[in-house]
Structure 1
Amino acid sequence: MLGRLYNNEAVVLIDGGNTHNFIDHNVVSKFGLHVVKDKTFQVMVANREKIDCAGICLALTLLVQGYPITANFYVLPIMACQAVLGVQWFEMLGPIKNNYRELTMTFKKA
């Protein structure tokens, strides 16, 4: 999906297969985002390679389809997009209804 980060366009992947939220390390550098380095771990990606997470950006806000999303994002080199919203974000939403035919996701804003 297209989103906005600091008033710049960003491609955001919504992926229930990821346990955490991630942000590309190039975006972190470009915007000079503060990274907490004591929250590091290894992430296994699709090809089973393990990549070191460089830290975490706390309480970062993305705007996706006019909806502000504030969450923590772990810093990784991501090739296909600027940010990934994973289960860490999904669990904040409560019940979610997905319609894969129409490619929609519905939830109630708390």
Structure 2
Amino acid sequence: MSISKLATTGQTTPRTVRLLGRIDKQEVLILVDSGSSHSFISESVAERFAHRICKLKPVTVRVADGGKLTCSGYIPECQWQAQQHKFSID
């Protein structure tokens, strides 16, 4: 798995699209980054959905600059919407 370092900090590049969206009726900022191979939720956003998080054995994720992050959970069947379009991530 890989994710761009900018995506982890919320910074944008010309390859990044910023969308205002919703998860479970809660407003979230969504960064669509063509440099990332997977979808990630920041810890601060994930805390709002703690009741839905399934714990994982920690997985190491490599960021574009070669650094590493640890992912320790996921939200199964996470549905989000932006601009009247609905998406599902598992």
* Structure 2 length-normalised TM: 0.67
Q: Deviations over 1:61-92 (max 9, x none)?
A: 111111111112xxxxxxxxxxxxxxxxxxxx
Counting only pairs closer than 5 Å after superposition, residues 51-70 of structure 1 correspond to structure 2 as 51-70=69-88
Unaligned stretches of 5+ residues in structure 1: 73-110
Task: Kindly tell me the number of residue pairs found equivalent between the two proteins.
Answer: 72
| RMSD, matched Cα | 1.8
Larger RCO (CA under 8 A, 6+ residues apart): 1
- State the identity as a percent: 29
Structure whose alpha-carbon radius of gyration is higher: 1
Kindly report structure 1 stretches of 4+ aligned residues shifted beyond 3 Å.
none
Q: TM-score, normalization: structure 1?
A: 0.56
Quick one: structure 1 residues 33 and 24, their matched pair in 2 at CA, closer, same or farther if it must change by over 3 Å? farther
Q: Give the secondary structure class of the aligned counterpart of 1:17.
A: coil
